[in-house]
Structure 1
Amino acid sequence: MGYCIEEECFAMTITKSLLICVGIKILMCINKVLNSSSNDAGIDSDWLDEGDRRSAFVETNNRVRPLHLAYVAGYKLQGGFSDIEMKLAMENILVEPEVKMKWIKQIPKGLREDFLKACDEFIKPTQIQKELDESGGNLLHIAARLGSEKLLSLLVPCNSSELTSLAFEKDLQDCTPLHLAIKNAHKAAAMHLIQVAPATAYWDRKGGSPLYLAIKSGYLDLVLQIFHHLPGTDIDSSTRKQIIEAKKTSIVYAAIRAGSHSSSTNDMLRTIMKEIPHCIDSINKKGWRPLSYAAFKGYSDEVSYFLNNFPDSALKPDIDGSFPIHKAVCADHLEIIKQFLSLCPLAMDVIDIKTGGSILHFAVRYNRSDIFSYLRKKTSKRIRNLKDRQGKTIKDLVNDLHKSTRSE
């Protein structure tokens, strides 16, 4: 038992000795500062080696750290650590600041303290570097994901371009900060990023551009904001071509779908077509043009808009050789067909390029009896007697249909 007591006393003596050594070095630093003529008093951390730096953050039995005493006394830490890094260390970051706080270098020195204070509302400083390492990107990505307009305003004020380049960087998922703000429905944050760097709204990725995401989500206010700061007519030709040729993430098809889910007029589609009218020739992944897609889906308002504002689109074939009115016949949309004949009568005479079939041929092939009855009274004699590429007239197809029906 005596041996154990002696051993414990010896350990306590060693611990106290180490703390005294650290304290002496820190006091030497403080004394140096007090004796200096500099007005900006500070502790020169170059006087502390790596081991002493670690010890300087270790608490004693009464939960007091050597550096805490210096900090409370009003001395700033100079040299190896910045003022902000010491504050982070005081928040129990028990790893080397160089490893855990690389993100600080992205912030101008004059903004670091304000940024740290703003972070307290949204994210722990200890979590920032972890997220950057896992997801890539920069501090704007974190602020956008959190939806913090306050953090974004600190990093990229609307009247400053010092850090605007950060808005164009992408994370490991190929997303810009604006992508993340819109995906997470942080509209205020998205508005700020659009003001700072509107060109990023047109940056495409596998999941679509921010403009596409805003349209898909039905955020008309964001779309209007994008076009206000960078009109579609002002974008460069390569970007315009990319937008028009996008198949899976086409903005015009997203606008058509967004309008179809709303009871109001499709303002989204009107806005898109006003800014980028060339979208009328966009081809989706099925090889269809916008009017064909709207006709097949039975979107009456969108069909009416296209026929009134882009009447030539009714006479342009899709990749499969058929025309928009053919799609309406296939999908059995009689009211859509009536719109075609009323607003673009020439659509009555279009012939499918691959099969050579008229709209009457399609009505019989797809067994659309109501449409056939309506069109037979409207079509010309030439169309009624027309032979397709198999050499069959409408009458031949009708007879074939009756035979197959009787055999069943």
Structure 2
Amino acid sequence: MASIAINIDENSIPREHKASSMIDSQLHECLRQDSIEAFKSLVQTHFAEELVTPCGNTLLHVAVSYGSDKIIAYLAEEFPSLITTQNSQEDTILHLAAREGKDRDIIKSLVESNPCLMRKTNTKGNTPLHDAVIKGNRDLAKFLASKDPEVAYYNNKNGRSPLYLAVEKGNRNGILDDLLKSGSSIPIKREDGDALPKGKSPVHAAIEQRNRGILDKIKEARPELLRLTEKELGNSLHYASSIGFLEGVQFLLQNFHDGAYERDSEGNYPIHIACKNDSVDVVKEYLDIFPYPKEFLNKKGQNILHVAAENGKDNVISYILKQDPKLVKPLVNEMDDDGNTPLHLAAGHFRPMASFLLVRHNHVARFIVNNRNWTPYDLAEQQSERAEEEFLKANEMDNSKDVEDGMENSTAENSTDSTSSQRKVQVYNDYVLKIAKRATEKASPKDEGLITFFGVVTTLSILYFYARPKKSLREYFTVTPRHISQAKEESKTWIGNLLVIAVLVAGVTFAGAVQMPQLRDYNNSREQPHESNSAITASHYISYENHLYGYLFLDLGAFSTSMVASLILLWANFNDARFILLGVQFAAIMVFSSIIMMFGAFFLSLRIALLGSPEVWLTIAIIVVAVVFFLVQAFLFWPWFLPSPVDQIVEGILFNYFYYLCFFTLFYSWRWLTEKLPELPGLKKKLKHPREQRESRNM
């Protein structure tokens, strides 16, 4: 007989177990060898019912683990209280027999004489049938299910019944077949609580594994199981729709048709769940069977297009909008309980793609108002303001956190010897670990706020073009004044940045004045007559003087304006706070002027260096590049010259064009790629539609 190790951990001995009540080595040897005579002689000197292992196993537990039939029969007859005794894990002898793969007749006889063993649970809530299924002990599982079929539906503390575990194990050793044939109906109540209807359904387990074969087995043996509902996942059709299991949805619609008319805990029908999952194939299956989607409204009064728009499921939205107009018209402008249309929900939840698809549809009412008297554009404006506020708050929190981290690092570095190479290596390793940890962690509130903000402004820009209500000029040019305290806080950062730029410009222009550009001599060519050289040199010298005077003027102007800007910024930084806003605005203009003049001086220095150059194309190319970048600089700096109200208005208009142009380009690039890539020979098979892939695998 193979030896079976008994878990004896000295550190796990309960305090109540004394050394005198522990099973000694001689008794263990007798139990292992099933030496009944030697065992009787030893056990007579002890109280058999009090002898235990460190895990609380009695003599009968150990005998069952070893499969010692003679000792089992002796102990069951002489000490019947041991039959129902549980160890420290609340395991009975039947739990151990199920886990150890024991299915001896002596065990079965004990179960028949003590049927309460089949319903006893351990600390995990497992009955012996649970453990038999988990370990694949088919013979004992079949025996237990035949004696008490109802236990197959009992849930453990994880909400799993033996039947669920059998499905989860993929019908290992055919245990599922035996449990389905046990002949018991679904229990409603048990002694210590509710049974399967509030636990995990075996049908859900089969759907999770996408196992159509098990679904067929359940349907043939226990079709009532198809109707079971889980609290979080809903009925089987809800769950199959949530994971996009098309084959399972088709099976359930044939065998559990009424499930399509049931709502889950959130008040959604299965077709709503399919829309939330962006499963176009599943939605198509529902619409083929139920060609009246307007009748399916969740508890919020939302139809399938509401749900798809709110969750940004673009593929489903595109598919629905392409259906028969008679089907689409009742959906696109339908209002939910809050008066929101699908376009309202797409705008309010910043779904740019969904908003784009809906707002361009011919039957969508773009200016309809909800219960708050807001159009989709108004709702997007409200969300834009909120997203901006949240992003600014997250940005401030992130900056303060970085400052604290920097102070901690600097304190740690100052507290050690700066010349220690080991300390430098340690600091570097800590920094790398910190970066790696941040990469694996969830995105910071600042990053999430930035993503949200981009989604909001993109949605707002789309609606700006297609669904912006007409406003009077007065309303259009009305701006919200910026709070003075907020502007002053921002100005402190601007002062530092502008001061750095002004000082750099002053340094560069001072160096340019010290080393002025010189005229290059292109006229000492041996191929030209000596008489003509003097005339050409004179004209070049006149051009050189004109360019040099312009260079000096621009260089002096850039130096002067940058110095003035520096003094103004210093004055604003140390003077009255009321002067800050005006000083920053004026200094910004001066800095911009100095940069433009510095750019002009640089351009003239290049012109001086190229005077008389035979390479005309080089001169033209430099002029074109200079003009282009001059316009770019002017465009980047022009907001500094405008008054704050005008600046806000112009920015609001231009940024809408900018975001819409970016989205428009990306949208049609994506559409083009999705249409062209499948046509490539090497990608046709890889980019095949998921439904076609499943059909090809089934063939």
> How far off is 1:312 after superposition?
2.4
Structure showing the higher helix proportion among its residues: 2
Looking at structure 1, the residues matched to 130 and 47 of structure 2 have their Cα atoms a distance apart, in angstroms, of: 33
Question: What is the CA distance between 1:237 and its match in structure 2?
Answer: 4.6
- d(CA) in 2 for partners of 1:307 and 1:322? 17
Q: Deviations over 1:28-73 (max 9, x none)?
A: xxxxxxxxxxxxxxxxxxxxxxxxxxxxxxx9xxxxxxxxxxxxxx
| 1:136 maps onto 2:127 in alignment | no
CA drift at 1:380: 3.8
Identify which of 313, 317, 320 aligns with 1:368.
313
RMSD: 4.0
Shift of 1:319: 2.3
Q: Tell me the SS of whatever aligns to 1:141.
A: helix
Counterpart of 2:178 (choices 215, 220, 225) is 225
Structure 1 pair 140–287 and aligned structure 2 pair: CA distance change class (3 A):
closer
Alignment of 1:173-322 (within 5 A): 173-207=124-158, 208-219=160-171, 221-232=174-185, 235-238=186-189, 242-243=194-195, 245-247=197-199, 249-258=200-209, 260=210, 262=211, 266-286=212-232, 288-322=234-268
User: Which amino acid is 2:182 matched to?
Assistant: H
Gaps of 5+ in 1: 1-58, 60-82, 119-127
Q: Distance between the aligned counterparts of 1:273 and 1:405, measured in 2?
A: 52
Distance 1:365 1:237, change over 3 A: closer
Cross-structure match for 1:383: 331
Q: 5+ unaligned residues in a row in structure 2: which ranges?
A: 1-25, 27-33, 53-57, 74-81, 347-354, 360-375, 381-457, 463-655, 660-699
Quick one: structure 1 residues 154 and 295, their matched pair in 2 at CA, closer, same or farther if it must change by over 3 Å? same
Q: Is the 8 A contact 2:136 2:175 kept in 1?
A: no
| Alpha-carbon contact 1:214-1:223 (below 8 Å) kept | yes
Which shifted more, 338-347 or 300-309? 338-347
Q: Deviations over 1:363-402 (max 9, x none)?
A: 3222223322221132242223322233233455534477
Cα distance change, pair 405–324 in 1 and its aligned pair in 2 (3 A): farther
* CA distance 1:338–1:313, shift in 2 (3 Å): same
Q: Is the 8 A contact 2:118 2:129 kept in 1?
A: yes
Deviation at 1:334, TM superposition (A): 0.8
Structure 1 residues 96, 382: closer, same or farther in 2, change over 3 A?
closer
1:5-404 aligned at under 5 Å gives the runs: 86-88=37-39, 97=48, 99-100=50-51, 103=59, 114-116=69-71, 132-150=86-104, 153-157=105-109, 161-207=112-158, 208-219=160-171, 221-232=174-185, 235-238=186-189, 242-243=194-195, 245-247=197-199, 249-258=200-209, 260=210, 262=211, 266-286=212-232, 288-347=234-293, 349-354=295-300, 356-378=301-323, 379-394=327-342, 397=346, 398=355, 399=359, 400=376, 403-404=459-460
Say if 2:293 and 2:303, in contact at 8 Å, map to a contact too. Answer: no
Is contact 2:132–2:138 with CA below 8 Å preserved after alignment? yes
Which amino acid in structure 2 is aligned with residue 114 of structure 1?
D
Residue type of the alignment partner of 2:102? S
Moved more, 223-232 or 333-342: 223-232
Sort the Cα spacing of 1:257 and 1:237 in 2 relative to 1 into closer, same or farther, 3 A: same
Which amino acid in the other structure matches residue 94 of structure 2?
Answer: L
Give per-residue Cα distances to partners, 1:56-95, cap 9 Å, x unaligned: xxx9xxxxxxxxxxxxxxxxxxxxxxx9764226689996
1:244/1:174 CA distance change after superposition, 3 Å = closer
TM-score, normalised with respect to structure 1: 0.61
Paired amino acid for 1:187:
R
CA offset at residue 351 of structure 1? 1.9
CA shift at 1:274, angstroms? 4.9
Q: What SS does the corresponding residue of 1:136 show, helix, strand or coil?
A: coil
CA pair 311-345 structure 1, distance change in 2 beyond 3 A: farther
Closer, same or farther: CA 283–191 of 1 in aligned 2, 3 Å: closer
SS across alignment from 1:374: helix
Question: In structure 2, what is the equivalent of residue 71 of structure 1?
Answer: none
Can you list the C-alpha shifts for 1:138-191, whole angstroms capped at 9, x where unaligned? 3222211211123xx222159x93344433333344332212222233333323
Superposed CA offset, 1:305-353 (max 9, x none): 1111222222222221222111111111111111111233234641222
Distance 2:86 2:256 in 1: 47
1:359 is displaced (CA, Å) by 1.5
**1:289 to partner: Cα distance:** 2.5
Query: Which secondary structure does the structure 2 equivalent of 1:161 belong to?
Result: helix
Matched residues, number? 301
AA aligned opposite 2:339? G
Separation in 2 of the partners of 1:113 and 1:349?
A: 67
Matched to 1:290, the amino acid is: S
d(CA) in 2 for partners of 1:334 and 1:394?
Answer: 18
Q: Secondary structure at the match of 1:391?
A: coil
